[in-house]
Amino acid sequence: MNNDLDPLRLDQASVRRAFERAAATFDAASVLHREVSARMAERLGIVRLAPTSILDAGCGTGEALGELHARYPGAGLLGIDFAFRMISAARARAPARSEHARSLLARLAGSYRDPPIARPQFVCGDLIRLPFRAGSVDLVWSNLVLQWVNDPAEAFAEFHRVLATGGLLSFTTLGPDTLRELRSAFASVDPAVHVHRFIDMHDVGDMLVHAGFADPVMDVETLTLTYADGQSLMRELKALGASNSAAARRRGLTGTRRWAAALTALDRFRSGGRLPASFEVVYGHAWKPEPRRAADGRDIVHFRRPARR
């Protein structure tokens, strides 16, 4: 299939531009992100983990790092995002950097090892090419970011690489029923792609296993936000950077007539005077197990002496 016609494929340059523009408006509009982040944090409460280094993969403006610092006060914190203005906003929110904080980046890059620190550091970079050495973090946290990656399997492979053995990946993404009302409304107007297609939870689980993760746990729930009208929904999506960046999207303007028809179709979903917008949230976590093969392909056999009685 031509990649430009694939409804799952995103125009990554368009995605980056949308998030660059949204850096100043993201926090005020991020109701869903904050709620999902809080639910992710609750799930960490049942996990036995004492990380010394944490990576927020797709950190946006850095809000989740406050929660992670509160939960793991001794851990070194690092955020990465591919939108430079998001990183700039995260830096402005974080405490001033120190010489010890800068040493975390050097440690992750493999230069030397320092005791972990709690002040966050930030890098502008891509999730599918993380600029950190293998086995350098204990927890990878990624909230509502993977739906913006063309091939999440590549991101999972990178998460697996940078995690230390015994490390945990905790993430959320969006499933196929996300914005089903908006998708249906636009589908009644024309056949163009107006709303992204999202990957099913079971396919995400398969990607985790293929990347080498163990004991994956997946679950899904639908959260519904309501709006006064269709324009309010579209304004919030734009403020979040969630614009239509599908590679198969129509490149011209939608047009006044088609836009009005789509809003009329969307209004049929109105209930109790409000318009609903559904978000299918996929939660997942998985562990990096001990390796089974050496770098040269030979199997690793572990011999453990039984405990004396």
Question: Chain-centre distance of CA 118, in angstroms?
Answer: 22
Residues whose CB falls within 8 Å of the CB of residue 2, separated by 6 or more in sequence, listed in order: none
CB 216 within 8 A of CB 209: yes
Residue 97's pLDDT is 40
pLDDT digits (tens, 9 = 90+) for 92-146: 988 644 444 455 556 566 654 444 445 799 999 999 999 999 999 999 999 999 9
Contacts of 131 (CB under 8 A, 6+ apart): 109, 123, 125
**Neighbouring residues of 175: CB distance < 8 A, sequence distance ≥ 6:** 198, 199, 200, 201, 220, 280, 281, 282
Which amino acid is present at 223? L
Q: Which residues of the chain have pLDDT under 50?
A: 1, 96-101, 112-117, 301-302
Question: What confidence score (pLDDT) does residue 96 get?
Answer: 43
Half-sphere exposure of 143 (CA within 13 A, CB side): 24
Sequence-ordered strand ranges (E) for the chain: 53-57, 76-81, 121-124, 137-142, 163-174, 214-227, 275-287
Res 271: pLDDT? 94
User: Is the Cβ–Cβ distance between 144 and 170 less than 8 Å?
Assistant: no
Q: Answer whether CATH 3.40.50.150 is correct for domain 3-175+198-223+281-287.
A: yes
Pairwise CA distance, residues 298 & 295, whole Å: 7
53's CB contacts (< 8 A; 6+ apart) are: 75, 76, 78, 104, 107, 108, 116, 136, 137, 138, 139
Q: What is the mean pLDDT of the chain?
A: 87
Tell me the CA distances in angstroms from 292 to 210, 231, 265, 276, one per residue in order. 14, 53, 54, 48
Closest to 225 in 3D by CA, of 183, 274, 282, 268: 274
Bridge partner list, 276: 226
Q: What are phi and psi of 54, to 5 degrees?
A: -130, 135
Q: Show me where the domains of the chain are located.
A: 3-175+198-223+281-287
* Structure confidence at residue 116 (pLDDT): 45
Provide the pLDDT for residue 251: 66
- b/e map 123-141, b = 16+ CB within 10 Å: beebbbebebeeebbbbbb
- In the prediction, which pLDDT does 245 show? 86
